[in-house]
Amino acid sequence: NAGVTQTPKFQVLKTGQSMTLQCAQDMNHNSMYWYRQDPGMGLRLIYYSASEGTTDKGEVPNGYNVSRLNKREFSLRLESAAPSQTSVYFCASSTGLEVRGYTFGSGTRLTVV
Amino acid sequence: DQQVKQNSPSLSVQEGRISILNCDYTNSMFDYFLWYKKYPAEGPTFLISISSIKDKNEDGRFTVFLNKSAKHLSLHIVPSQPGDSAVYFCAASARAGTALIFGKGTTLSVSS
């Protein structure tokens, strides 16, 4: 039972480089989310997808794009990485129908130099 | 403007005593409140939740209290154990399954 799988676990980028963070869930969940965690800032929502085929901006969407590739996969793309995007990124999924909240992946630690 | 506030960045408690973690919110549309626990290098894990129609929910050593008039909720852990040492996040949503808004977290340290 893998749950939510994020790849890669660690990444170092140079300013201006691009990359895609991958997320896949095997729980047949409808909704998927991307959060970033920064020291003293908690978890902030970047983008979410309430269902396959839909995406919406969260609290901090600038500098990011997302793709809900299918029901299982939700990717986060940084087109031109900036040092301010150094963070730990968490993907999560939920059925969208109940109050037990999300199942989170183990995170991707990204450093932009 | 923060909609979910955890004003205590850290809390230290002795093993066996009660831990009380607090959370305030500003959005009166919030209907569901959840607590998550996070260990270093791991993703957050769901701990306990409460809906606005209740004022208390218990699950073993964990109890969440909700005071809607004060827009305040708290998580009680009794008795506290060293394994409870982690970051605790309070979260809220306007309806089931919608995007959760998280607080900044409180780091709990339980000493033996």
pLDDT bracket for residue A22 (50, 70, 90): very high
Residues B25-43: what's their mean pLDDT? Answer: 93
- pLDDT higher than threshold 90 for residue A18: yes
Dihedral of the CA atoms B53, B108, A25, A68 (nearest 10)?
80
- pLDDT higher than threshold 80 for residue A69: yes
- pLDDT higher than threshold 70 for residue A97: no
Q: Which residue among B44, B51, B99 sits closest to A45, beta carbon to beta carbon?
A: B99
CA atoms within 13 A on the CB side of A110: 32
- In sequence order, what are the beta bridge partners of B36? B46, B89
| Among A104, A82, A109, CA closest to A34 | A104
| Among B24, B19, B53, CA closest to B37 | B19
Cβ–Cβ gap A43/B89 under 8 Å? yes
Partners of A42 on chain B (C-beta within 8 Å) are 6, 89, 102-105
* Among B residues 30-49, those touching chain A with beta carbons less than 8 Å apart: 32, 34, 36, 41-46, 49
Q: Give the pLDDT of residue B109.
A: 98
| Among A21, A8, A4, CA closest to A103 | A4
- Please give the DSSP secondary-structure letter assigned to residue B84: G
* pLDDT tens string A26-43: 999 999 999 999 988 889
Which residue's entry shows tokens 């968490």? A90
- Average pLDDT across chain A, whole number: 93
Residues B54-82: what's their mean pLDDT? Answer: 97
pLDDT bracket for residue B94 (50, 70, 90): confident
Q: Which residue among A41, A45, A106 sits closest to B104, beta carbon to beta carbon?
A: A41
- pLDDT higher than threshold 90 for residue B84: yes
CB pairs under 8 A between A and B: 68
Partners of A103 on chain B (C-beta within 8 Å) are 46
3-state secondary structure of B82: helix
